[in-house]
Amino acid sequence: MKFWNFIQNADNPDEVELRIEGEIVSDDDAWIYEWFGIQATSPNAFRTELAQYAGKNITVWIDSWGGDTTAAAGIYNALKEHKGKVTVKIDGKAVSAASVIAMAGEEVKISPVGIIMVHNPWSGIRGEAKDMRHMADVLDEVKETIINAYQMKTKMSRKKLAEMMDNETWMSPKTALSEGFVDEILYTGTDDSQAQNSFTLSRLAIQNSASESMRRFIEQYNKINAKPEPHNEPSEPPEPTESPKGEPNNSKAQLLSLKQKQLDLKAKEII
């Protein structure tokens, strides 16, 4: 299931509404989410559909916890390249990688009950000590690319933006407006006197990583559907004989094994 939806304005054919919700995932991982019916998409599919609305003004509503940074970059680039005005409206949340997509708007507006979060990129890694050190260097470079998007919008110094990311900064509409991440608070104009820091959330409910979300999903799936294996069954299920995009023809254990291998391969994925 795609996490974005284009809606043509019946009254004005030159105006299109786009809603971005759910996880932001890479092209390589899209099939996992499609398999389980979880809202997600790949940048390539997004670009293909966006191209159908070339020349039209687009209002982009965002309500997402974020996900893969490179996937977000692909969507950001597609919106920046769009032939037509792009207005971003933050519905409930633009967190982590979703905040990068929000920066693609010529105008960025936020609901009085919306919130933005910026933080450092992070990743899981396995390997030798040199692999750990190398990944730290990679994350530093990825951080610089994220700062590029924030700086182009806010005109803030790179040093201050880096500090905000280090501190995992959550911004209410009032703060986001004062820091330059948005141009207007919806329904109140640019006057922020009516908007207070009233957004309440539990940190325990926050999920910024698409891969970690999928890992917990698989753990729960395994717990619910676990069945005793016969003694004559092999300890490791065989590889599936069909493409993951085909009709499933293997046991649940085989499917879970495939998903776990996919997650292992993504141990170095940057979120």
d(CA 74, CA 20): 14
- Residue 263's contacts (CB-CB under 8 Å, 6 or more residues apart) are 211, 214, 215, 218
d(CA 27, CA 218): 20
Catalytic residue check, 96: yes
Catalytic residue check, 257: no
- Asked whether the beta carbons of 176 and 199 are under 8 A apart, the reply is no
**Residues facing 110 on adjacent strands:** 90, 185
The catalytic residue among 26, 42, 64, 96 is: 96
d(CA 216, CA 249): 24
- Asked whether the beta carbons of 53 and 84 are under 8 A apart, the reply is yes
H or E stretch covering 120: none
Q: Which of 29, 41, 32, 25 is nearest to 218 (CA)?
A: 32
The catalytic residue among 82, 111, 119, 172 is: 119
- Percent of the chain as helix, strand, coil, to the nearest 5: 45, 20, 35
Tokens of 92: 């409930």
Active site residues: 96, 119
